[in-house]
Homo-oligomer: A and B are copies of this chain.
Amino acid sequence: MTKPPSNSGDLSRREALTSLAIGGAALITGCASAPEPQSPAPHPAPSPNAMTIPTSLTGRHAVVPLPFAPGSLNGISERMITSHHENNYGGAVKNLNRAEEELSRITAETPPFVVAALRERELTFRNSKALHEAYFANLGGNGRRSGAIEAALGQAYGTTARWEQHIRATAMGLGGGSGWALLVFELDTGALRTVSSQSHTQAAATGFPLLVMDMYEHSYQMDFGAGVARYVDAFFANVQWEEVNRRLERALKMSAIARGSG
């Protein structure tokens, strides 16, 4: 436990005291002889155009509020979307902070398998955070698709109907368990890809998410039971395609840079 931030919203003092002691620091008992965790070097004063990289493994990630009124979705209840945001997404942020805390304390003596185990949890919670944020951010719309994404889907899949067949089949294939159905923009190729992720850890290594559909059962069980198809309909009825178009616009610029021409 490095320095539990006293003003941190998500890490209570009690939790801080009881968290793991990687490398042997005795947190519960407060033994003073535990090795000092590495503290990050102070940030240099930013100069114009200076690159400033945030500290890694701070354990201080915060929940991003829902970007729409929870009761305003069409066919997705306030109760379900609120639970999704507070419990599943909120829990991931909390656990990410805890995992980062543990990882910030590894020493040369920490068994590699422990590092592997913690890193797997870190990736789980980090992707859960990122994908949940993108999911909530592409909801709250009216489901009407237009603009650049319309053209892009047509170019990529021949017809937008063909893409819809792909994304629906992908979503249905994930029903009854965990996962994400995604449309990503491949930064290294400029192509679109419809991705099936079976857990938070699965993702496209060079993909930038354009459309994110949560297929974990907590996304639909409360309102739809096992009715995955009805959830997929409800999801699409609420997609904010303007947000997707903003992501596409950014992805096009980013991809030009990634491929050396931007």
Contact = CB atoms under 8 A, between A and B. Distances in A.
A211 interface: no
A213 to B, nearest CB: 13
Contacts of A175: 91, 112
Nearest to A15: B111
Interface in A192-223: 192-209, 216-218, 221-222
A72 interface: no
Contacts of A91: 175-176, 226
Given A22-B20, A24-B27, A117 B115 contact: no
Nearest to A52: B155
The oligomer's copy count stands at 4
Contacts of A110: 20, 169
A51 B148 contact: yes
Given A21-B21, A31-B31, A192 B56 contact: yes
Contacts of A139: none
B120 A120 contact: yes
Contacts of A28: 23-24, 34-35, 109
Contact of A26 (B29, B99, B109, B201): B29
A67 interface: no
Interface residues of A, number: 124
A100 B129 CA distance: 30
Contacts of A34: 26, 28-29, 31
Nearest to A19: B111
Interface string A116-151: 111111110111001101000000000000001001
Contacts of A29: 24-26, 31, 33-35
Question: Top 6 A-B pairs ranked by shortest CB distance?
Answer: A116-B173, A24-B28, A26-B26, A31-B31, A119-B196, A221-B221
Interface of A: 18-29, 31, 33-35, 38-41, 43-44, 51-57, 79, 83, 87-88, 91-92, 95, 98-99, 102-103, 106-123, 125-127, 130-131, 133, 148, 151-152, 154-159, 162, 165-166, 169-170, 172-178, 186-209, 216-218, 221-222, 225-226, 250, 252-254, 257-258, 260, 262
